[in-house]
Chains A and B, each alone.
Chain A
Amino acid sequence: MSFDASYNEKELNAVGTRPVRPDGVDKVTGRARYGADYNMPGQLVARVLRSPHAHARILRIDTSQAEALKGVKAVVTAADLPDLTDGDASLFAILDNCMARTKALYDGHAVAAVAAIDVHVARKALKLIEVDYEVLPHVVDVDLAMAPDAPVLDETIITKGVTPAPDAPSNVFAHSEFGHGDVAAGFAKADEIVERTFKTEQTHQGYIEPHACVASCNSDGSAEMWVCTQGPFVYRQVCADLLGLEVSKLKVTSSEIGGGFGGKTHVWAEPVALALSRKAGRPVKLVMSRNEVFRASGPTSATSIDVKIGATKDGTITAAEATLRYTSGPYPDTWAETGAMTAFACYDLENVKTVGIEVLVNRPKVAAYRAPSAPMAAFAVESAIDSLAHKIGIDAVDFRIKNAAREGTRSSYGPVYGPIGIGPTLEAAKAHAHMSAPLGKNQGRGMACGFWFNFGGQTCTDLNISADGTVTLSVGTVDVGGSRASLSMIAAEELGIAYEDVKAGVADTASLGYNDMTDGSRGTFSSSMATISAARNAIAVMKQRAALMWDIPVEDIEWKDGQAHAVGASHDNLAPLSVKDIAAKAGNTGGPIAGHSELVADGAGVSFGTHICDVEVDPETGATRVIRYTVIQDAGKAVHPAYVEGQYQGGAAQGIGWALNEEYIYGEDGRLQNAGFLDYRIPVCSDLPMIDTQILEIPNPNHPYGVRGVGETSIVPPLAAVANAVSDAVGVRMTHVPISPPRILAALKAQR
């Protein structure tokens, strides 16, 4: 059935309210089942042996003693995960990252794994595995990795995207370039130019729940896996590809999820758990420790970014240029390319050029983290914009308003924008009381803007109407931020029934068609589109059933306020039929009533936000406190405003942590020094003020209710907003994130 997804302004009843979430009781009473809360009969415990070296050739692995230990049921190495990737480089990188094949490429890289009857035996077995390493020189810093004398991680890599192609291998996988106009001519017209280099350190998503799964391979070639993931269908595909399973014979069920933020869109140890189960012939539970989570899963890129922006005295930007160097871990990837696309996306620029440079280093394979790659680019650009505003003596908000992108602007990464929210968020910031509140001693204020693309993708939803008229909604996007509530609201809105009569759940891969994962802020955007479509399909069925019940033509039936109405003079005396009435008779009118939807949710509207931050800095210690913080962002249409606010606050909190304290710290030996929450400092509650939010609603023309994704944009501006605030408070431009107390004191000292 064709589905028209275009925006149609109408009064909404359920959408825009703030009901209690359906998963809340289970979560607060401890009944919700997360990755580690599932068990199977005969289940074994897995532990993974990891490289202590940042870069080493694996000369020999002897597992015989471990295999001989009583209680050990399987030991696997790369030999048990044969290469089935058939030349697919990105799939090979996933395979090699799950289990090192010829070289350990970072501290924490898996080299072997055991499955045993309990954790004590498994630990003992790890110590009995002998690995001979040839330790190789390593490099972890983005700039040092590009130096001519840097140890090269992969001798087959010749930089792509440069002409002529280099003749020697290096750690630079690729260059990518975006922009339009003539930047040299633009800079020639500028009255003032700011040119500066910025650095950001590597951060982790910091989800509280570690990666966990239970894998079970059967002798008939079927398998199942319970796992904490943002995308069961994607995990199923990747695991099936890596293990040579038939996709439909692997059933993946997603657990409740204790945070993902992009880090659970990639597989880590799940293929290893399946390989262990296949070899042992028993189910295997694998739960990563916090140390393993930090050392071997999901960090962002570390970056080094050059920015140059020029403007005339009246505040018009004449040219903007950036070179963005991003680490990708030890495998090729495209994180710098994404940074290069987003860097100047907030602005309407005549001349703009960005170059992204992908750099391999001996650190864990980089994973998506909430608007991946955008926060670092925004930090550099928004810091430079701030400096330039000061230099030409124009208010920082007015400067941004003057140059903001608008409908019809050709974006720096190519496409021409439709209706967008950057201008309105800036105007709202200018008018916000926060902007004019007085500041005290040692306090400073900063603001910054941010952009994210958002994504739609493949989506599939089933809506089943029960005999009592209540509704079961099965969605294929994992609920990471309250989407079961928002999707229930959407179903209630379309059907015209009460929110409480809809029960939404996340389906396993055997129960629903393929869905892309919950990433790109797509969960509510895409699944709500599919839910609207499924509900409309169910309404069409119910109209047919009502026609049968009344014995009138279906054309004479109209659906309104959750009821079938017979329209036309001849049917005036027919009382409307509710969903309950129709459902009760379903057995006699053609069987179960359902609405299904399979679609590609195109047209995810781009998203913009503006943040304002006040800090107080102790000039004697560099201690920084965020004392006030405001997020203003366009939601298109806020389905459940409380959860939209939660997304705004959560992104800001993570961004503040990144700005002030979070970083991967490596020793001279290339080993991670702070693989735990004690020394990898995410903010605690008392570190943050109540984060104020303001939701703007500029409808997305490509969604029936105008919805845009809201999950990611909120982490884009904070690095720059905090940096601009600290720079304002201490009077020195801070160019290295995190802006930790030692960096602040060092900057103050350098100025004295």
Chain B
Amino acid sequence: MRYERPETLEDAVGLLSATPERSHILAGGTDLLVRMKNDDFDADLVVDIKRIAGMGEIARTDAGFVIGAAVPCAKLAEDAALVAAWPGVVEAANLIGSTQIQSRCTMTGNLCNAGPAADSVPALVAVDARVKIVGPEGNRIIPARDVPVGPGQTSLAPGEIVAAIVLPEPAPQTGSAYLRFIPRTEMDIAVVGTAVVLTRDADGTVASARVALGAVGPRVIVPDDAAQMLVGTTLDDDTLARFEAACSDAATPIDDKRGTVAFRKEVAGVLARRAAKIAYDRAGETQ
């Protein structure tokens, strides 16, 4: 197995293109290093992208917050502007693993690992994040939602690298929140994850809403019908009850070691309702 640490994205793409099979990108390594310990793990090439300029930086541009692919999740929480703009994303990213893991793991890694239970992915989808992809055929920008296509599968072509995640600037009076269910208090993986982003009008009614459900389907589920129920309301109890039921209905989980279908559907609704209330309150606190 070869370990390479290129200094440019072009070199990284070149290395990966030359070894399209059995090659891996290393940033935080919190998924890859665990897999490498398995007896059945085989790799010919590992490309460490941490030395590439900009990979470890958060930049605020006209497009919004550009978060380099190797930015550890802990660093997100240290960026006051980002925390103020998208608390739902930062809190989701900082639920992953332990404090030690958070200082290594990255949102891009979380996205490209394509685990259905990834915590940061519903939060990214709810804020309609984009990703910058560089590859042998050129660069492209796609919605974060379109990166994972199924458990462990991404839409990235051989040789392509996600270079950054871009979060838009939030509209005024926008709030975001992420809640997950785990049987423990920390160091666990989501049985259900729910992200809500909503923007208030001046009169306090919801102007727009976007909801994303994680761990209840092979990909993140975006129940637009449920989100639309919140628009034009102030989240009264009746609305929230209908919203909760709609989110439960939208969830398409499986029975597995982490939970049952019935449990996950029910809890998806409960957490979506709770997240909506938090997002609504946060929207009221912003300018």
Using CB atoms and an 8 Å cutoff, list the residues of chain A in contact with chain B.
47, 123, 126-127, 289, 291, 620-623, 625, 660-661, 665, 673-674, 678-679, 681, 683-684, 686-687, 740-742, 745-746, 749
* Given A621-B267, A678-B188, A742-B260, 7 more pairs with CB closer than 8 A: A47-B39, A127-B40, A621-B270, A674-B257, A679-B257, A686-B184, A745-B267
B78 CB–A CB distance under 8 Å: no
Cβ-defined contact, B259 with A684, below 8 A: no
For B38, B257, B258, the residue with the greatest tally of chain A CB atoms inside 10 Å of its CB is B257
For B39, B256, B263, the residue with the greatest tally of chain A CB atoms inside 10 Å of its CB is B39
B101 → A minimal CB distance (Å):
12
B81 CB–A CB distance under 8 Å: no
Question: In the complex the two chains form, what is the Cα distance from A686 to B181 in whole Å?
Answer: 15
Give the chain A neighbours of B184 by CB distance below 8 A: 661, 681, 683-684, 686-687
Cβ-defined contact, A745 with B188, below 8 A: no
Cβ-defined contact, A123 with B39, below 8 A: yes
Cβ-defined contact, A741 with B185, below 8 A: no
Question: In the complex the two chains form, what is the Cα distance from A289 to B38 in whole Å?
Answer: 9
Cβ-defined contact, B37 with A289, below 8 A: yes
12 contacts between A and B (CB under 8 A): A127-B40, A289-B39, A620-B267, A620-B270, A621-B270, A622-B263, A660-B183, A661-B184, A673-B257, A684-B185, A740-B183, A741-B259
Question: In the complex the two chains form, what is the Cα distance from A621 to B262 in whole Å?
Answer: 11
Give the chain B neighbours of A625 by CB distance below 8 A: 185
Interface residues in B145-190 by Cβ distance below 8 A to A read 181, 183-189
Question: In the complex the two chains form, what is the Cα distance from A679 to B257 in whole Å?
Answer: 7
Using known A-B contacts A681-B183, A684-B185, A740-B183, determine if residue A746 contacts B39 with beta carbons closer than 8 Å.
no
Interface size range on B against A: 20 to 34
A682 nearest CB neighbor, chain B only? B184
B57 CB–A CB distance under 8 Å: no
B57 → A minimal CB distance (Å):
31
Cβ-defined contact, B263 with A665, below 8 A: no
Using known A-B contacts A665-B257, A741-B181, determine if residue A684 contacts B187 with beta carbons closer than 8 Å.
yes
Encoded as 1 (CB less than 8 Å from any A CB) or 0, chain B from 236 to 269 comes to 0000000000000000000011111011001100
Cβ-defined contact, B263 with A681, below 8 A: no
Give the chain B neighbours of A621 by CB distance below 8 A: 181, 267, 270-271
A616 → B minimal CB distance (Å):
12
A629 → B minimal CB distance (Å):
15
For A127, A625, A661, A742, the residue with the greatest tally of chain B CB atoms inside 10 Å of its CB is A742
Give the chain B neighbours of A660 by CB distance below 8 A: 183
Question: In the complex the two chains form, what is the Cα distance from A673 to B187 in whole Å?
Answer: 19
Using known A-B contacts A665-B257, A673-B256, A678-B189, determine if residue A741 contacts B39 with beta carbons closer than 8 Å.
no
A660 nearest CB neighbor, chain B only? B183
Question: In the complex the two chains form, what is the Cα distance from A728 to B76 in whole Å?
Answer: 42
Cβ-defined contact, A741 with B183, below 8 A: yes
Give the chain B neighbours of A681 by CB distance below 8 A: 183-184, 188
Give the chain A neighbours of B37 by CB distance below 8 A: 289
Question: In the complex the two chains form, what is the Cα distance from A746 to B186 in whole Å?
Answer: 24
Question: In the complex the two chains form, what is the Cα distance from A291 to B34 in whole Å?
Answer: 12
Cβ-defined contact, A687 with B39, below 8 A: no
For A126, A674, A681, the residue with the greatest tally of chain B CB atoms inside 10 Å of its CB is A681
Using known A-B contacts A621-B270, A623-B181, A678-B189, determine if residue A741 contacts B263 with beta carbons closer than 8 Å.
yes
A182 → B minimal CB distance (Å):
44
Contact pick for A661, options B183, B260, B266, CB 8 Å? B183
Question: In the complex the two chains form, what is the Cα distance from A684 to B183 in whole Å?
Answer: 11
Question: In the complex the two chains form, what is the Cα distance from A621 to B257 in whole Å?
Answer: 17
Cβ-defined contact, B263 with A745, below 8 A: yes
Give the chain B neighbours of A679 by CB distance below 8 A: 189, 257-258
Give the chain B neighbours of A126 by CB distance below 8 A: 39
Give the chain A neighbours of B259 by CB distance below 8 A: 741-742
Cβ-defined contact, B39 with A686, below 8 A: no
Give the chain A neighbours of B40 by CB distance below 8 A: 127
Cβ-defined contact, B266 with A745, below 8 A: yes
Give the chain A neighbours of B185 by CB distance below 8 A: 625, 684, 686-687
B262 nearest CB neighbor, chain A only? A746
Cβ-defined contact, A686 with B186, below 8 A: yes
Give the chain A neighbours of B256 by CB distance below 8 A: 673
What are the 8 tightest A-B residue pairs by CB atom distance, in nearest-first order? A742-B263, A686-B185, A673-B257, A665-B257, A620-B270, A674-B257, A742-B260, A661-B183
A622 nearest CB neighbor, chain B only? B263
Give the chain B neighbours of A746 by CB distance below 8 A: 260, 262-263
B96 → A minimal CB distance (Å):
12
Give the chain B neighbours of A291 by CB distance below 8 A: 38
Interface residues in B34-76 by Cβ distance below 8 A to A read 37-40
A290 nearest CB neighbor, chain B only? B37
B283 → A minimal CB distance (Å):
23
A48 nearest CB neighbor, chain B only? B39
Question: In the complex the two chains form, what is the Cα distance from A684 to B258 in whole Å?
Answer: 17
A578 → B minimal CB distance (Å):
51
